[in-house]
Structure formats: C-alpha cells, structure tokens
Chains A and B, each alone.
Chain A
Amino acid sequence: MAEVRDFIVTKEAADPLELPKLACGAMAASKPFVAKAEHQAPLGFPGELVPNWQEKAIAKLGDLLTKYRSLQVYLDACVKCGACTDKCHYFLGTGDPKNMPVARQDLLRKVYRRYFTVAGKYFPWLVGAEDLTEEVLKEWYSYFHQCSQCRRCSVYCPYGIDTAEISMAAREIMDTVGMGQKYSNEIIGKVFKVGNNLGLPAKAIRSTLDGLEEEIKEETGLDVRLPLDVKGAEVMLVTPSADLFAEPHIQGLMGYAKVFHQAGVSWTLSTYASEAANFAMFIGSYENMREIALRIRRAALDLGVKRLVFGECGHAWRVAYSFLNTLAGPFDFLDSRYPVPQHICEFTYDLMRAGRITFDKSMNDQYRVTFHDSCNVSRASRMGSEPGGQFEIPRAILRAACNHYFDMAPDTIREHTLCCGGGGGLLTDDLIDLRTKGAQPRMRALQQVAADHGVTHMAAICAICKAQFTKVLPAYGFKMSSVLSVHQLVSNAIVLDGSIQARALAEQATGASADREAQ
C-alpha cells in the first residue's frame, strides 16, 4: 500500500482559502495567443482587429444588452459590497486584485457606464467610467482570459451576479472586433470540420475502440462492444473526445462500455457528433454553440437512437443539461420515458439502484479516493430529480465502488467547489502559469485531505479537470496519475455477468462456505 501513496504530507497543509496579499498587476502580462485569421473565419469572426474596432465593440455591447438580461442587470446591480472579493481561485492563487470577480466585471462595467449610463456620460470620474481605449482592450484580453467561468462568485453574490456571464460577453465582443483567442476558436473550427475537439478522424476513433474492446476481452473474457455509428442503437453516447485519447479519460470510457454491457442496452458513439464539449460556450457565442449542439441532434436523428447519454465532462454537461433543449430541441423523437439528455452517472446510478450492478470494491483498495466536484456540474446543472443530485449521485457511485472514500473540506466541495484552474477555455499551454496558480486552492484542499485521511487519488467527472490536474498535480507534490475518472473506478470494480471476475467471486464464495462446513 505504501508504494502507491502518491503524496505524503509532512507538515500541516496550508488553508486552501487563505487570503493573499494584494499584488497589483501581478498577472497583467498573462494572455493567451491571439487567434489568427484562419481560426476566426470558420466561426464568422473577422481575422484581425478591425479598423473601427472601438465603434464596433460598443455597438456589440449595446446589442448584447438587449439580448441578455443577465448582462443588463448585472452591470447595473453591483453595489461593490465585497462579498465576492475572496471567492475566485485565480485571485486566491495570484493575489492580483483584478482577479477579484467584481474587479474583473468592472473592466467591462466601466465601459458600459461610460457609453450607456447617464452617470458615466456626464460624471465619469465620479462612478469610475472609462473610455474604451487600446489599453482597456488589452486589459480585457488579459483578465477576461483569467476567468474560468466557474460561477463560484455567483453563489455568494447577494444579487447572483455571475462573472461568467460578463466574461462570456466580453469575449464575444472581442471576437466580433477580430481579437479572438486561438485555443478556443481553433478547437471550435475542428469540431465544425472533423466533428471533435481533437480532430480525430473516424478511422482513428474506430481503431482506438477496437483496442479497448481487446483490452476488456482480455480482462473479463467478455465481448464488450464499443460501437461507432451503429444505426438503430438505443443509446447514443456523446462524450468528450479526450475520452478517446487521454489518460485517465480513456479508462472512464471503458467504464461506460462495461456499464452499457451490463445493462444490456445497445449503444453507439457517433463520428459526426464525436464531441460532447462545446467551447462556443466559453466564448459566449450563442450561434456557434447552437451549431455544435445541432450536430448532436442531427446525429441522433441520423442514427435513429432513442436516448442521449453524455460522458464525463463538466461544461459539456452544462450545455447538455441546461442548454441542449433550448439550442437543438425539441427532442420529441426520443424516448420520453427518460430525461433528455442523461448523464452517464445517472445511467449507472439507476442501474445500481435497480440492483443490476455488482461491485467488487476490493479492486479499488489500492486507492484512497476523494472527489473533485466540477464547477459546471455543481453550479450550472443537476443530476437526478432532486436539486443537489449532482453531488450525491457521483459520491454514491464512488462509495459503492470503493472501500476508502473521503470528502475534502466542506467549504471546498459541492456548490462551494474550487475550479481545477483550467476551465472556461484556459486549458492551453500558453496559460500554464495562470493554470498552476489557479489550481492552488484545490490542490491545498487535496493536500489537507491527504494529510488527514491518507487520500492518494482524486476522482473527477470532467475531461478538462482531468487534463488540467494531470498537468498541475506535480507542482503540488502529487503524481500526475493521482487523478482518476469516476467511471475508471466503476470499470475496476464492476463484476460483469459471466466474466472471469464473476466466476472467481463465485468460486471464492463456494470455497468459503466449503471451508465453513469442513470446520
């Protein structure tokens, strides 16, 4: 057991929510690569900063104010009470005061006040209104790409002001004037062209799935299928393409396959909709978000499936749960006995409750596990029929599949959860400094639970969280491999009917009863 302990704390872990000293301008130089013309074009945005950008940006802001009540109300309602000032993980990790949610909002609010309010037009000095200058645009580009749209601030704001809404609007304005972010926009282009974020063609997907089928066969002795583009399947699984490619995501995909197999439900992936992620949400573009969502509708119609199930991905589940019906509905052609869409955790949990899944928990005994609540799942969606099901269901699955489960500190989980540091379109190498610093509060909470309960691994249900943690864990004294997929733990422990594991368990049981009789 000792050799798999990935992290040993020798002294008391630091407080995850410890307040930093204000460090003005500490992150002013942080900015992601700017999108080139070829990244902008497929999304319908100009390829470079347009000559009359100032005029166009203000017009776009005016347009968004009439389209989004959130933006209009939130730009007016803030009283600068300070409730949000210590809530952002990027502020806690960097100390840069412009990473306080209210200060980040003020970057847009000061321009709104200058051009759209009486007070700002006539008394700018009084209310902190400012002209939209090149400096302001640069500041926008920097600090609106230091927000992972995790919504933690919105939990604590007395008016529910959600900085994510502000940063989405700001990014949409910047895209409109030709100052997009390369990482997100390039990826959206790939989805339009190939069908997924990673640009994986159908052949590559199929060969990955073949490999996984072989692996599961070897392990269980069963022909567990991972079907692709199968017409007439009951379930279409939409999952982040990272599940086809990266560790520990791919072990999660094997878990889904085993669960479907055990359920006896026919299912398929789709090449055309081989991506659950929808990065257009990060850039606040309704039109592009809708375009990506429609691929899922078209694939479901084309394959003639009856149910939609989503794999482990945080913001994808937000778009699926909260927006899919709006963007690509109505889904009256699907089986109305099931919610549209369903989360894979809901699917697994329902099967567990129906008594259809047997777990051999000892298969996960090498792990002492905690769970990282992903922001978009926690604060922007739900699982099951009760509010808060998004917290209970994954935990119920983990507790059923593992003997050693421990929660992190209460003020760092559930709706108080801390972002992994890489959400909201920031999971790019050009922002690695920001990502490492932004992960600090979560990492400290992990160090704490490692010290208190000997926790060795953290399970997550988000492709971005998993990729981000893999990258930043070493900076905090953990191994890269100490992040796991929830369905990886399911995959390890599930005992499929007729499998090698099932036979071994049965033999053990008869052996044990024979022993008892002999005595």
Chain B
Amino acid sequence: MGVLSALFAGLFAVATVVLVGGLAYKIRLYAMAPAPLKIPTTPAPTTRGGVALRLAREVLIFESLFRANKWIWAFGLVFHAALLMVLVRHLRYFTEPVWAWVVLAQPFGVYAGFAMVAGLLGLWARRILVPRIRYISALSDHLMLALILAIAASGLMMRFVARTDIVALKAFFLGLMRLELRPIPADPILLVHLGLVAVLMIVFPFSKLLHAPGVFFSPTRNQVDNPREHRHLAPWAARLEAQGARK
C-alpha cells in the first residue's frame, strides 16, 4: 500500500510539473515570437473588443469549424463541452468544502461522460472511415483518441459498474496538494484511470493538444484589422530598418 501510494504521488507530482512547466515553456515561445506582418483572415474585426469576441466565438462555439464541416463540428463540440463538464465535476475531489457551483454541475457532469465518449467515437469513426482524414492521420492521432477514450471509459466504469473508495481517494489528493502522503485505494480500475490521466498530462505539452493555447496566439485570428491606421513593426524588422539606408 505504501509503495503504491508513493508511486502514484510521485507520478502525479512529475505529471503536474511536466504539464505546467511544458505549457509555460510553449506559451512563452509563442508569446516571444513576433508576428512581423498583419495577417488576420479577413473580414476581420477592426477593434480589440471585436477581436476578443472573434476569439470567444472560436473557442466557445468553434465558429470556423462550423463553417467548414458540420460533422466534425458537432462531434468536436459535444466532446469538448462534455469534457468541460466532466472536469468541473472532478473539482469536487480537489476542494474541501466543495464549491456550490461544482455541486450544481454534479448531475450533468455524470452524464456528460457518455456524451464525451459519443463525441470521441464519432471523431474516431470519421478518422477511420473518411479516406481524406484517414490519409492525414498518424499513429499518434489514433493513440490520442484511444487514450482519452480509455480515461473516459474507466471513469464511467467507476461510476456505474465498480465503485471505488472515493472518500479515501479524495483524502489522497487533498493530502498530495499539501505535500502529504495518504493511502490510495488499490483498486485496479482506479489505478488505470489515474495512470492514463497522468500520461495525458505528461504528453500534453509535446503533442497536438497544444492547439489549446495555440488558438489564442494565432495571428489570423487574434490580430486587429487596422494596418493603414497603425504601423505594425516587429523588433527584428525594426533592426533591419535601422541597418539599411532609407530615403
């Protein structure tokens, strides 16, 4: 028991460091790289407020994807919305007392698990059945779907088939957050669920999951359409200008 708890405590410590550190590194990279030219996909908003709205529509309702393909949009939106509900629901295992709005989300969160699986299966079916999408899929694209599906399925099993000692688990995580080691329930489904979540956290900053921070840094979406009104100059372009003689 002691060894197992220590193992998982260590695993989650490492996973958290990799996730947070890796994402911070990548976000820094995106933020530091200049966008030397104005390249918003037009028609584009002409104000910062307009850009905020455009990004909000992109992130909340997947506006561009909706225009591209209704099937991918539907499966993708169902999956992401359900994932959000599931994550909210899981906050109860990391907070004491549990926040009121998390309590409210609880009944929806439970069923959102099924919606998540449905969305993932829809996306995977397209990846296998549509020749164009099969053509562009690498092994990692299939494995990512498998990983998240396995996490969802093992989670649902604990809710509807073989319940785990959730009180002990919560104690384990609340302890971990205070850097105290508490015993973890030695329940195989739980351990699989947690192990895969840790893998997902570790893989996150090295994978296409970088689309999550990436969308906020996309110049075609986050730039204001005002090049005639405001001169836009990247630092490296300004240096180039300083070197060259200009009339």
Enumerate chain A interface residues (CB-CB to B < 8 A). Answer: 22, 65-70, 72-74, 76-87, 97, 100, 102-103, 106, 117-119, 125-128, 151, 154-162, 165, 286-287, 290, 294, 297-298, 301, 321-323, 325-326, 329-330, 339-341, 378-382, 385, 387-388, 390-391, 415
Smallest CB-CB A-B distances: 5 pairs: A77-B214, A156-B68, A387-B43, A160-B220, A128-B138
B58 touches A158 (CB 8 A): yes
Least Cβ–Cβ distance between B62 and chain A, in angstroms: 6
Judged by DSSP, the binding face of B is: helix
Which residues of chain A are near B16, meaning CB under 8 Å? none
Which residues of chain B are near A82, meaning CB under 8 Å? 69, 72, 126-127, 130, 132-133, 136
Which residues of chain A are near B36, meaning CB under 8 Å? 67-68, 286, 326
- Within B206-243, the residues touching A (CB, 8 Å) are 206-208, 210-211, 214-215, 217-221, 225, 227-228, 230-234, 236-237, 240
CA distance in complex: A298, B126 (Å): 55
B41 touches A379 (CB 8 A): yes
CA distance in complex: A496, B216 (Å): 51
B67 touches A106 (CB 8 A): no
Enumerate 28 A-B pairs (CB-CB under 8 Å) in ascending A order: A76-B26, A76-B208, A77-B210, A80-B141, A82-B132, A83-B64, A100-B132, A118-B206, A155-B41, A158-B64, A158-B215, A160-B218, A161-B220, A162-B39, A286-B36, A286-B237, A290-B240, A322-B37, A323-B37, A326-B36, A326-B233, A379-B41, A381-B42, A382-B42, A382-B225, A387-B44, A390-B42, A415-B41
A301 touches B232 (CB 8 A): no
- Within B167-221, the residues touching A (CB, 8 Å) are 206-208, 210-211, 214-215, 217-221
B43 touches A157 (CB 8 A): no
A79 touches B33 (CB 8 A): no
B237 touches A73 (CB 8 A): no
Assess whether B38 is interfacial by the CB under 8 Å rule: yes
CA distance in complex: A391, B43 (Å): 9
CA distance in complex: A272, B20 (Å): 55
Assess whether B2 is interfacial by the CB under 8 Å rule: no
Which residues of chain A are near B126, meaning CB under 8 Å? 82
Least Cβ–Cβ distance between A366 and chain B, in angstroms: 33
Which residues of chain B are near A102, meaning CB under 8 Å? 136
Least Cβ–Cβ distance between B32 and chain A, in angstroms: 8
CA distance in complex: A382, B33 (Å): 26
Closest residue to B67 on the A side, CB-wise? A156
Which residues of chain B are near A155, meaning CB under 8 Å? 41, 64, 67
CA distance in complex: A151, B69 (Å): 17
CA distance in complex: A74, B208 (Å): 10
Which residues of chain B are near A157, meaning CB under 8 Å? 64, 68
Which residues of chain A are near B26, meaning CB under 8 Å? 76
Which residues of chain A are near B137, meaning CB under 8 Å? 80
A159 touches B138 (CB 8 A): no
- A-B pairs under 8 A by CB, number: 215
B64 touches A68 (CB 8 A): no
Q: A84-B68, A390-B42 given. 20 additional CB < 8 A pairs?
A: A67-B34, A68-B33, A69-B35, A80-B136, A82-B69, A87-B68, A127-B138, A156-B69, A159-B221, A160-B219, A162-B41, A287-B240, A297-B246, A326-B38, A381-B42, A382-B43, A387-B42, A390-B43, A415-B41, A415-B43
Least Cβ–Cβ distance between A319 and chain B, in angstroms: 9
A326 touches B37 (CB 8 A): yes
Judged by DSSP, the binding face of A is: helix
Closest residue to B203 on the A side, CB-wise? A119
B68 touches A323 (CB 8 A): no
CA distance in complex: A37, B214 (Å): 40
B133 touches A154 (CB 8 A): no
A79-B208, A81-B72, A158-B215 given; A387·B38 CB < 8 A: no
Which residues of chain B are near A379, meaning CB under 8 Å? 41-42
CA distance in complex: A154, B68 (Å): 10
A128 touches B140 (CB 8 A): yes
Which residues of chain B are near A83, meaning CB under 8 Å? 64-65, 68-69, 72
- Within B1-60, the residues touching A (CB, 8 Å) are 26, 29-30, 32-39, 41-46, 58
- Within B54-83, the residues touching A (CB, 8 Å) are 58, 62, 64-65, 67-69, 72, 76
Which residues of chain A are near B37, meaning CB under 8 Å? 286, 322-323, 326
Closest residue to B126 on the A side, CB-wise? A82
B218 touches A387 (CB 8 A): no
Least Cβ–Cβ distance between A15 and chain B, in angstroms: 16
CA distance in complex: A323, B36 (Å): 9
A119 touches B207 (CB 8 A): yes
**Which of A126, A162, A329 is in CB contact (< 8 Å) with B220?**
A162
Closest residue to B211 on the A side, CB-wise? A77
A127 touches B140 (CB 8 A): yes
CA distance in complex: A81, B74 (Å): 12
Which residues of chain B are near A68, meaning CB under 8 Å? 33-36
Closest residue to A162 on the B side, CB-wise? B220
Which residues of chain B are near A287, meaning CB under 8 Å? 240
CA distance in complex: A128, B137 (Å): 9
Q: Which of B65, B68, B126, B140 has the most CB of A within 10 A?
A: B68
CA distance in complex: A74, B210 (Å): 10
- Within B123-170, the residues touching A (CB, 8 Å) are 123, 126-127, 130-133, 135-141, 143
CA distance in complex: A81, B148 (Å): 16
CA distance in complex: A326, B38 (Å): 9
**Which of A294, A301, A325 is in CB contact (< 8 Å) with B227?**
A325
CA distance in complex: A385, B228 (Å): 11
A380 touches B39 (CB 8 A): yes
Which residues of chain A are near B135, meaning CB under 8 Å? 22, 97, 100, 103
B208 touches A65 (CB 8 A): no
Least Cβ–Cβ distance between B159 and chain A, in angstroms: 28
A78-B211, A85-B132, A128-B138 given; A70·B228 CB < 8 A: no
Closest residue to B35 on the A side, CB-wise? A69
